[in-house]
Amino acid sequence: MAGIKLTNLTKTYVKDDERIDVLGGIDLDIPSGSFVMVLGESGSGKTTLLNLLGALDVADAGSIEVGGVGDVCRISDRALSDYRNAVVGHIFQTFNLKGIYTAFENVRIPLLFTPIAPGEARQRITAALEAVGLADRMFFRPIQLSEGQCQRVAIARAIVNDPKVLLADEPTGNLDPKTARHIMDLLVRLNKERGITLIMVTHDMTLLDYADRVVTLEHGGIRENTPEDVAAIRRGIAALRGAGGL
Amino acid sequence: MRFALQKNLALMALRDLVSKKVRLVLNLLGIVIGVSALLFLLSLTEGMRKTILRELVGSIPVTEMTATPAEKDLPVPDLGRTMKMIGVQRGESLVLRQQLRGDMTDETVRRVEALPGVRRVYGVRTLKRVPTSVQGWFFGFEKADFNTETVVFGYPRELLEGDVEDLSDYAFRPTAAFDTHPFHTKFSTDVDRALLMTRMDLADAEGSYVPAVLSRQLLKAYNLSFAATEGLEALQRVSEKSLIGQLIYVRFGRSEDFYTEQHKVEPLGTVIKVVGLSDRVPMLGFAVPPEYLGLWEDAYFKAPQPSVYQQLIVQARSVADVEPVRQALLPVGTRLRALREARKLSIKETAAAAGLTPQEIEAVESGPIRSTMNDKEAHRLIRAYASALGAGAAQMAAAYDRGFDMEVVSKKETIDKINSVTTFVRFAFVLVVAIILGITAVGILNVLTMSVYEERVDIGILRSVGARKGHVRFIYLLKAFLIGLIGSLAGLALGWLAMVGADALAHALLRRMAYAPETFFIAEWRFVALSMAMGIGFAMLAGISPANHAARLRPSAVLRSA
């Protein structure tokens, strides 16, 4: 599976003549098959990091070494498309499903760009939808599904090509706590059973328990949260729960 | 599997389009109108072109031209007024005008035949000195005595071959000359009618009729005008087949209605039998073997008449030879004037360049040069004029010496003129439709640009799951193509319906009009192809910018906007 090594990764945005160093040369090593949760305030560069990892954006400097692929920052546009198709899967907060398509058709979209036979494509779509527990909703449109089900379809779309890395950008952000937990259970299952490296961005501290590792982006840098940090956060959350704050 | 991706993307584009039906219909509307209008108008011009060509050219070869001696100018300012003053009446003015033209002999035929590029020349005689009318009953018009002026043409048999189905009866029979006891113009009694019928039956039985070929155009005009007119029930439509074998009485002489007493001679007559119809025979006459014409003129004037031709039918060896042959037959002045006009020079400018007076230039151009000056003087003017235009002076002088001085109407010229007018009209129609489609394209551009904005997240998703820039560009170009294709197909269907409807309407309104064609529209495949190409082409032009814009969208930016 694909381990990921970020070296001196830099990304700067210029807005109204103001330079914003979102990522100021971060280094990060993510072993294959791990579940890394990325925390940080709004604007700290969490989504930017995911976009760079998913080759949806281009870094200004540094490198992203992905096992079996090489430095994503140095490959051609065409190879980047293949990388997005075969190596990574994206999950978004707003699901980003195509409203006029059924669940089956939405999951099929990545396979359009994969040279496989139609029969095999059907098998893969069915398997992906079964994996997210939506085998009986295959031909429903997003409008006929609940939000949790929509996110499951989006997850099925992300895993249909059997990616090595899943990049989830606040996947539970639009869901109620119960549904959020179901989605997290599903993601963890995929991470553990399939060995998919899972990198998830969230604001929701209650989800920390699910991750193997938690990192925080702040001031353009990255900070590794020690087990003690995580334990402190958990205690804080427990206390808040007890006081009815969460 | 190679085209599986393209097929899937095409289906995706189609579904996207169909999912927004109102927008799709609005997009299609302009294309539908443009394409249907183009097909309709192009088919109409082709229908008109073919109809005009059929009526004017018929089955006559394109290498053929008709040459007649150029009309000589009379040294009087107003021919019509002068004729009136000297007592020449309406019918005779035509005869007089004809007589002002020169005559051509076998020697002329030989000289024209000797020109390079000429394959064959036929001398055609018309009975121009003898006023002629046809009268009597035929094809069942028992109650309608008709009496109409006509022109008799002497056509050799070879000239009619290929056009007339059966020419076996078209031969000279010396026994069938003039009747010595002709019938009068008006049939006042049943006895007159009975006598004429008997005379015609007798001529048929004896085989002493004159075989004649009628004008196919005349029959068509009759069927589409007189026979179709309400109130003349006796005039039924006549088929070609029923006309063949009919007997007609022809009267030579000057009727009281048309001619002055001083020209009146005892009328003579003969029976003709229709053996065929031809596109070549002019509408106002009929053709007989040429040998009859000499006999009839001699009998009419009671003295031998010179054997002359009034018309030459010249066949060129190839289409490329038509124009050089035509030029060689034209008067020198006409050729020089054409050269001058082509070079956009005024008479005054040419006169100055040639060292001649404007009057001398006009004299050369208008043609009476031969009748108003001697050859030496004519040569001097022609050479000076030709040299001023940079044309071959010696060549023009030689053309003057040959002195064909003819008016030439070539079938190719007629066809070329019709074709060039049609091409111009078509070009104008294509331009108008291009403007309609251009406006439509701006609308499509607008709508597709909006689509790209609305679908930017979908585009981001496609890019995030492996779509290349080219795939995104392909989808939007395909959308434009599909708008063009669907609009064009609907436009063709609408155009076809409009043609069927317009044809039916036109036939209902114009059913009594002469020369109303069977259809006003000829939709050729090239029109269908051009209409579709324009419909699709304009839509795709409109799709280029949105497609490129969609392909250039940064996925991270558009997904963030979601």
- List, for residues B442-475, the tens digit of each pLDDT value: 999 998 999 899 999 999 999 999 999 999 999 9
Nearest CA in chain A to B456: A96
Phi then psi for B104, rounded to 5 degrees? Answer: -120, 145
- Name chain B contacts of A98, Cβ cutoff 8 Å: 458, 461
Residue A124 contacts B, CB cutoff 8 Å: no
Nearest CA in chain B to A56: B556
CA distances from B41 to B78, B420, B502, B536, B539 (A): 45, 16, 12, 18, 21
Residue with the two structure tokens 């002469």: B514
| Nearest beta carbon to residue B465 from set A48, A51, A110 | A110
Residue A112 contacts B, CB cutoff 8 Å: yes
CA distance B92 to B113: 33
Task: Quote the pLDDT of residue B308.
Answer: 81
Which ipTM value was assigned to this complex? 0.90
| Nearest beta carbon to residue B466 from set A47, A101, A110 | A110
Residues 72-101 of A with CB under 8 A from B: 77-78, 81-82, 84-86, 90, 92, 94, 96, 98, 100-101
Quick: pLDDT tens for A58-116: 899 999 998 878 888 888 888 999 999 999 999 998 889 999 999 999 999 999 998 88
Query: Contact A157/B4, CB-based, under 8 Å?
Result: no
Q: What share of chain B is helix, strand, coil (3-state, %, to 5)?
A: 60, 15, 30
Contact residues for A237 (Cβ-Cβ < 8 A; gap 6+): A205, A206, A208, A246
DSSP state of B549: H
- Name chain B contacts of A78, Cβ cutoff 8 Å: 468
Q: Tell which wins on pLDDT, A43 or B251.
A: A43
- Give the pLDDT mean for A112-138: 91
Task: Quote the pLDDT of residue B88.
Answer: 58
Residues 201-260 of B with CB under 8 A from A: none
Strands (E), B165-298: 210-215, 247-252, 268-278, 285-288
Which residue positions in chain B have pLDDT lower than 50?
139-140, 143-144, 185, 256-262
Quick: pLDDT tens for A218-246: 888 998 888 788 788 778 777 777 765 55
Q: Which long-range CB contacts under 8 A does B59-62 form with residues at least 24 apart?
A: B59/B162, B59/B163, B59/B279, B59/B280, B60/B163, B60/B279, B60/B280, B60/B411, B61/B315, B61/B411, B62/B319, B62/B322, B62/B411, B62/B412, B62/B415
Interchain CB contacts (distance < 8 Å): A and B? 70
Distance (Å) from the alpha carbon of B510 to chain A's nearest alpha carbon: 54
Residue B353 contacts A, CB cutoff 8 Å: no
The pTM for the full model equals 0.70
Query: Contact B16/A78, CB-based, under 8 Å?
Result: no
Task: Quote the pLDDT of residue A85.
Answer: 93
Residue A47 contacts B, CB cutoff 8 Å: yes
Query: Contact B559/A118, CB-based, under 8 Å?
Result: no
Instruction: Please check whether residue B540 is in contact with residue B40, taking contact to mean a CB–CB distance below 8 angstroms.
Output: no
Task: Quote the pLDDT of residue B376.
Answer: 87
| Residue B476, token pair as written in the block | 């939007």
Residue B562 contacts A, CB cutoff 8 Å: yes
Task: Quote the pLDDT of residue B265.
Answer: 57
Task: Quote the pLDDT of residue B259.
Answer: 47
One DSSP character per residue, B309-366 reads BSEEEEEESSHHHHHHHHHHHS-HHHHHHHHHHHTT--HHHHHHHHT--HHHHHHHHH
Residue B175 three-state SS = coil
Query: Contact A100/B19, CB-based, under 8 Å?
Result: yes
Residue A56 contacts B, CB cutoff 8 Å: yes
Task: Quote the pLDDT of residue A206.
Answer: 83
- Per-residue pLDDT at A143 exceeds 90: yes
Query: Contact B461/A94, CB-based, under 8 Å?
Result: no
Task: Quote the pLDDT of residue B270.
Answer: 83
Task: Quote the pLDDT of residue A74.
Answer: 87
Query: Contact B460/A96, CB-based, under 8 Å?
Result: yes
Query: Contact A113/B554, CB-based, under 8 Å?
Result: no
Query: Contact B4/A54, CB-based, under 8 Å?
Result: no
Q: Is B158 exposed, middle or buried (0-12, 13-18, 19+ CB in 10 A)?
A: exposed
Query: Contact A77/B469, CB-based, under 8 Å?
Result: yes
Residue B105 contacts A, CB cutoff 8 Å: no
| Nearest beta carbon to residue B556 from set A56, A117, A161 | A56
Nearest CA in chain B to A94: B562
Q: Is B166 exposed, middle or buried (0-12, 13-18, 19+ CB in 10 A)?
A: exposed
| Nearest beta carbon to residue B462 from set A82, A109, A161 | A109
| Nearest beta carbon to residue A84 from set B15, B464, B554 | B464
